[in-house]
A and B are shown apart, each in its own frame.
Chain A
């Protein structure tokens, strides 16, 4: 049996999205020479602004570009980079590419889930961490790899994971 789609943006937004961010996104789109073929670039910008791509932001982009919402959602759901759920302050990416996988990435991600108490694509209760499994990030020589935001932890071992996470918890004064 296949697992259900990880993505769900069917539930209406509970928090209001800041208008300034929509304005900034609109300006960004307006300044483009052409929006033809620019959907992915625009979605990147939108995700940078909002941290994720909630339903309303996707519809905003669709209407602004005059394309169907389904087309935008098709692209958002295709690329694992895009997320429709709010992100934690830190995003922990666990590489599941072939090289990492043969060097035990499956055990690494299981341990991360255990430490954080969440599944992939979920956010921890304190809002600090989001865990995502990503495809090859192009540093196979360092496999297996875990990234916290842009910081890369190479040849990482299961028993090191707790210390890595605690570093960030300490930074936030939560340990």
Chain B
């Protein structure tokens, strides 16, 4: 039941309005088209990520009757309250707050990875800061370049604490904390150990919300250019499902615009020898995962099965729930499966030396960078995947290459590893992997055709969702969580024995891969993430084939090379193992 809130009258900049009790001045102002600038504030309502530290003092407004200015982001409205948001006093205070932040901020916008994406930079422009009046003392902390995924540059931190909210409250990883006191404060892991030694999952949600470049991804674009310019290398690229619904944003397109064809064309123009789709790997994953689920059901093995596509989630369970390592599916993630097939089947077919093949993955994800470097995935003398770049990095490369993305004609993915299904596209959103798995499991278990493939009960944005799917008289209980804090709730239930599921899908990022740490910055606008999700389901509906086990090229791959799904060679190539890790 929706609780009806008492309405109260307030006055904002001489406009009288009626608003529900309990909202903040910032929210009320928004309703009458008054924009109060913010910096530390972040509120992704449905994704339950709220940062209300009021530490930046940028949203200060004047409320007659109160001596001092009040921060609009945390001050609740009250009956008869009068607020003036843009008085000279408020504007001056706001500008000064930003000037003070700039006084000890490195002056290197030109070369900064967040140039033109930085919220501090944008705010300085918006508030009309035209000179640095005070050159303050500067921090001098070394950059943390230890991990394969995240770069931490404490000198660019403005103490908004968004990363701490993302890491500790939303993801419950507890890696980042304010360290020290006063001017020397910086954000870092326990005992200021290097990121690589911490229990960081590299989900990248801290990067996704950092307003400056204090936290960014490790940039691997130079490695891609190097490979593309090496005539001895055969360079393969694959794109994850969630890229096609997000990368358009980097070229000023509406969020949720599907640009699959342009994406393929741009990659071909950049000079990749073949452009493939990770969706093929996703279909392969379903073949294996559905087989594993059926095997576990039929042989009374451990249930629930947990999907294993998300490397941040995998690292989370290794650190936080090592006693549950028996339950995740042993399937490698789709892009790693794809890389393996390229280095084996594809290499053999084209007479290529696997060592001369470079597999580049375009991912919405930062954790995939670290995943690709996991020792068990780089053995046998060659990596499964060589380089991982994010949606943002690819966008930058396309611009660097002088490709006018907007004007590109469409083209198709290359064959033979380019055919994909609707099932694989929905891997990009929360609920998608399990829906794809159910589409296949249903037909395999019942032997009947599944007419309506859309399991709407599995969809949505609720953090933890449950559904029961009836498969030929057998009820399959499904659990879904997105965001690691929600995953923790599900896992605790399993550990305590209070919840019973047959299959669980977990994605580390709120919203799933559409909200991934490597996606174009949403700058606090969760509508963007929702539109990407809608586009994913649209792309599914656009596909003629919507079930993984009907992907003809995947079936051909099993016939020609892999043998039985979940069989001996499939095990060797497409499955992996997990290890217990320390929790720090």
Q: Provide the residues of chain B in CB contact with A71, threshold 8 Å.
A: 168, 174, 177
A73 to B189, CA, bound (A): 8
Interface residues of A in 65-81 (CB under 8 A from B): 67-74, 77-80
- Number of interchain pairs (Cβ within 8 Å): 71
A64 to chain B, nearest CB (A): 13
On whether the beta carbons of A68 and B192 are closer than 8 Å, the reply is no
Does A14 touch B at the CB level, under 8 Å?
no
Q: Provide the residues of chain B in CB contact with A31, threshold 8 Å.
A: none
Does A2 touch B at the CB level, under 8 Å?
yes
Interface residues of A in 1-59 (CB under 8 A from B): 1-5, 7-10, 55, 58-59
- Give the interface centre of A68, A71, A79 by most chain B CB atoms within 10 Å: A68
Given contacts A2-B137, A68-B175, A70-B177, is CB(A8)–CB(B584) below 8 Å? no
On whether the beta carbons of A73 and B179 are closer than 8 Å, the reply is yes
The interface stretch among B124-132, B180-188, B241-249, B433-441 is B180-188
On whether the beta carbons of A69 and B139 are closer than 8 Å, the reply is no
Q: Provide the residues of chain A in CB contact with B138, threshold 8 Å.
A: 1-2
Does B232 touch A at the CB level, under 8 Å?
no
On whether the beta carbons of A78 and B174 are closer than 8 Å, the reply is no
Does B444 touch A at the CB level, under 8 Å?
no
Given contacts A70-B174, A71-B174, is CB(A2)–CB(B183) below 8 Å? yes
A58 to chain B, nearest CB (A): 7
A9 to B583, CA, bound (A): 17
Q: Provide the residues of chain B in CB contact with A78, threshold 8 Å.
A: 178, 180-181
Does B191 touch A at the CB level, under 8 Å?
yes
Task: Count A-side interface residues using an 8 Å CB cutoff.
Answer: 27
Identify which of B176, B192, B584 contacts A5 (C-beta below 8 A).
B192
Identify which of B178, B583, B584 contacts A74 (C-beta below 8 A).
B178
On whether the beta carbons of B191 and A68 are closer than 8 Å, the reply is no
Given contacts A69-B191, A72-B190, is CB(A77)–CB(B168) below 8 Å? no
B102 to chain A, nearest CB (A): 17
On whether the beta carbons of B190 and A58 are closer than 8 Å, the reply is yes
A11 to chain B, nearest CB (A): 10
Q: Provide the residues of chain A in CB contact with B190, threshold 8 Å.
A: 58-59, 62, 68-70, 72-73
Q: Provide the residues of chain A in CB contact with B139, threshold 8 Å.
A: 2
On whether the beta carbons of A77 and B140 are closer than 8 Å, the reply is no
- Give the interface centre of A2, A4, A8, A62 by most chain B CB atoms within 10 Å: A2
A78 to B583, CA, bound (A): 22
Q: Provide the residues of chain B in CB contact with A62, threshold 8 Å.
A: 190
On whether the beta carbons of A55 and B191 are closer than 8 Å, the reply is yes
Interface residues of A in 151-165 (CB under 8 A from B): none
Identify which of B140, B178, B184, B192 contacts A10 (C-beta below 8 A).
B192
Measured CB to CB, the nearest residue on chain B to A80 is B181
Does B193 touch A at the CB level, under 8 Å?
yes
Identify which of A3, A67, A77 contacts B179 (C-beta below 8 A).
A77
A1 to B140, CA, bound (A): 6
On whether the beta carbons of B179 and A5 are closer than 8 Å, the reply is yes
Q: Provide the residues of chain B in CB contact with A84, threshold 8 Å.
A: 191
Q: Provide the residues of chain B in CB contact with A70, threshold 8 Å.
A: 168, 174-177, 188-190
Identify which of B140, B141, B177, B179 contacts A68 (C-beta below 8 A).
B177
Interface residues of B in 141-168 (CB under 8 A from A): 141, 168
A2 to chain B, nearest CB (A): 5
> Could you jot down 29 A-B contacts, CB within 8 Å?
A1-B137, A1-B138, A1-B140, A2-B137, A3-B184, A4-B141, A5-B192, A10-B193, A55-B191, A58-B190, A59-B584, A62-B190, A63-B583, A67-B174, A68-B174, A69-B174, A69-B190, A69-B583, A70-B168, A70-B175, A70-B189, A71-B174, A71-B177, A74-B177, A74-B178, A74-B179, A77-B179, A78-B178, A78-B181
Q: What would 16 more interface pairs be, CB under 8 Å, given A5-B180, A68-B175? A: A1-B137, A2-B138, A2-B139, A2-B140, A7-B180, A8-B192, A10-B191, A59-B190, A69-B191, A70-B174, A70-B177, A73-B192, A74-B178, A78-B180, A80-B181, A84-B191
